[in-house]
Amino acid sequence: MIKLQLPISEAAIRELKMGDEVLISGLMVTARDAAHKYIHENWPDWLKPIMENSMIYHCGPVVKKHEDGSWSFVAAGPTTSIREEPYEAAVMEYYKVRAVIGKGGMGEKTLAGLAKSGGVYLHAIGGLAASLAKSVVKVKDVYMLEELGVPEAFWHIEVKEFPAVVTMDSHGGSLHKSIKAHSDEVAKKLIFG
Amino acid sequence: MFQYDERKLKDQLLELIRLAATDLPKDVVESIQAAHTDEPEGSAAKSVFGMILKNIELARAESTPICQDTGTNIYLVYIPEGVGMRKLTSLIKEATAEAVDKSYLRPNAVDSLTGKNSGNNIGEGQPFIHFEEWDNDFIEFKLMLKGGGCENVSTQYKLPDVGLGAGRDLDGVYKVIVDAVNQAQGLGCAPGILGIGIGGDRAASHLGAKTQLFRKMTDTNSNPDLAVLETKLKGDLNKLGVGPMGFGGNTTVMGVKMGSMHRLPASFFVSISYMCWAYRRHSMTLNIKGEVSYD
């Protein structure tokens, strides 16, 4: 198990390899479909200090608002990442984001982007919402809550020992590609005999 | 005439929602335990199943959602003759909004035209409620929470399918299902449970597929041909090696549930409703004395 502390350098991220299990601590930000669309249309400066050498978490949480106005995460597993495929490589390069955390993996465009700008794809376990919410120790801030709604807002969170697996690295390795290549062969035999 | 206490029923429905969101049914947990046992020590699949089992326990103990995507809330409601559907619909909606306040459900209803989240999980077509009248003297509410990831990999085929060599028979049905699960990989939060609807028009076919997902994991199809095919598919699909979350492993699907309906001579649809491992479904019966029981 490799411990990663955020912010993290490009060099440290390039050391990670497909299959590495990691525990992440530090500040990161959630962003999913509407947030990525918004970034791609506006490229806002206010995201720079939040994202540089940090990570984007593909997550639309269940949250709780406390009487003092503060928030906490109640359920916070990953959402499917491939929907951000059109945007992610450009977002990571522009903001120097060192990893995205999600589920299901991403495609060729992102894989090439990881190699170019120095990043990894981290797979969290889908449906692990109760456990992963425990790893979110603090909600530091929330941006664009009114415009985007709870699941789609940018939640700036502090995590502690958040578990994930490197399934795409900066050297062209993708677990998703190798699993698919194997299952394609099996499916072909089952379908065509 | 069947009567009930509206305020009480709203609270009873809220409890049904809480159970569905936070408490995975026993038959599903047992399937996941079996899948965990079936993976070799030290494998990624074993470790994933271990974390999944811990998460299930934690969600139940703390009454928090198993998955943050609390999904489309799909209700099948069976009512005795004369029970009004509009009143029940409004009570379900009231309980739904309260469940959002209590963080059992995420506000999950987004206006498709404006992108605006309604904030209380209620909107046009949300929650989804399907009523049927029956001869029993009690009401049954069946509820399933089906997340977006697995709904997005659900699909529909039209036979014949030339590319897959799938004709208009059960062998053709088999082929398109293998293709669908292979295409889905881990994206629907594997291992999945498949609800299959054969026949119907496009809409009825999808609804038929979803309805199959209300069956128990352990039951046997009453149609002998489909019973054989369900078992064969489960065995063969697990040869794909997709495994939990697509990390590779022995269990890619935990169950296959199939049903058929009549079709037009010109149409032959096969609908595949992929349900994630967080297979959240519970039911509640309400008898004439106002007593409820949950399953």
Selecting among A36, A58, A156, A176, the annotated active-site residue is A36
Element holding B29 (H helix, E strand): helix B26-37
Residues in chain A, how many? Answer: 193
Digits of tens for pLDDT over chain A (193 positions)?
A: 899 999 999 999 999 999 999 999 999 999 999 999 999 999 999 999 999 999 999 999 999 999 999 999 999 999 999 999 999 999 999 999 999 999 999 999 999 999 999 999 999 999 999 999 999 999 999 999 999 999 999 999 999 999 999 999 999 999 999 999 999 999 999 999 9
What are the start-end ranges of the H helices in chain A? 10-14, 33-42, 48-51, 85-95, 108-117, 129-135, 145-148, 175-192
Range 66-85 of B in CB contact (< 8 A) with A: 66-70
| Largest Cα span, chain B | 60
**Mean per-residue pLDDT of chain B:** 97
Are residues A79 and B148, on separate chains, in Cβ contact within 8 Å?
yes
Are residues B182 and A163, on separate chains, in Cβ contact within 8 Å?
no
**Domain residue spans in chain B?**
6-23+66-147+280-294, 149-275
Q: Report the domain count for chain A.
A: 1
Are residues B246 and A34, on separate chains, in Cβ contact within 8 Å?
no
CA angle B188, A73, A128 (to 5 degrees): 30
Per-residue pLDDT, A172: 96
Predicted confidence band of residue B234 (pLDDT cuts 50, 70, 90)? very high
Are residues A127 and B187, on separate chains, in Cβ contact within 8 Å?
no
Question: Which residues face B143 on adjacent strands?
Answer: B75, B282
Is A40 among the catalytic positions? Answer: no
Q: Answer yes or no: is the ipTM higher than 0.90.
A: yes
Instruction: Supply the CATH number for residue A74's domain.
Output: 3.20.130.10
Tokens of A14: 């390039």
Per-residue pLDDT, B1: 79
Look at residues A154, A159, A164, A168 and name the one whose alpha carbon lies nearest to residue A114: A168
Overall average pLDDT of the B254-268 stretch: 98
Residues of B in contact with A61 (CB under 8 A): 68, 106
- Residue pair B41/B86 in contact by the 8 Å Cβ criterion: no
CB contacts < 8 A, A to B, total: 164
The domain of A133 spans 2-192
Per-residue pLDDT, A96: 98
Tell me, yes or no, if B114 comes closer than 8 A to chain A by beta carbon. no
State the nearest Cα–Cα gap between A109 and chain B, in angstroms: 18
Are residues A103 and B59, on separate chains, in Cβ contact within 8 Å?
no
Q: For residue range B99-147, what is the model confidence (pLDDT) as tens digits?
A: 999 999 999 999 999 999 999 999 999 999 999 999 999 999 999 999 9
CATH topology of domain B6-23+66-147+280-294: Dihydrodipicolinate Reductase; domain 2 (3.30.360)
A-interface mutation test, from B24, B52, B69, most A Cβ less than 10 A away: B69
Q: Cα separations (Å) of A119 from A31, A49, A58, A115? A: 17, 17, 15, 7
Selecting from B54, B119, B178 the residue whose C-beta is nearest the C-beta of A190 gives B178
Residues of A in contact with B239 (CB under 8 A): 186, 190
- Residue B168, pLDDT above cutoff 90: yes
B-interface mutation test, from A183, A186, A189, most B Cβ less than 10 A away: A183
Residues of A in contact with B69 (CB under 8 A): 60, 77, 79, 129
State the nearest Cα–Cα gap between A11 and chain B, in angstroms: 26
